[in-house]
Amino acid sequence: MRTRPTTLRNVIIAIAFAAAAGGALAQAATPPPAKLDPPVEPDAFVSLAQLDRNQDGFVDKSEIPQGHELQGKFARFDQNSDGKLSGDEFKKYTDEKR
């Protein structure tokens, strides 16, 4: 009768190892994060999508590249003073730039 408990114990141990290995394999199979777009040139014409690094649908001042002209004009286009440019606010900037 000794073999049965030992066999059951070995099966339980094998299942535990398989579950742990499966979790490790699932983690290893996760794709790497997407590469960021190349940096935006300081005076380049850009879209909201290019600047919206966190993809929340808005451009906040921290997402504007250092030295880009929009940094100096940000407060003028942020009409509701919420610290970010909505699609409509950003469109006013691009309309002026054209």
How confident is the model over 32-61, as a mean pLDDT? 75
Percent of the chain with pLDDT over 90: 41
Chain CA centroid to CA 49, Å: 13
Domain boundaries of the chain, sorted by first residue: 1-30, 48-97
Burial class (CB in 10 A: 0-12, 13-18, 19+), 2: exposed
pTM of the complete model beyond 0.75: no
| Cα–Cα dist 74/64, whole Å | 9
Q: Give the 3-state secondary structure of residue 85.
A: strand
Which CATH code is given to the segment(s) 48-97? 1.10.238.10
Please give the structure tokens belonging to residue 85.
Answer: 């440019």
| Cα–Cα dist 30/32, whole Å | 7
pLDDT category at 13 given cuts 50, 70, 90 is confident
Q: Pick the more confident residue, 44 or 33.
A: 44
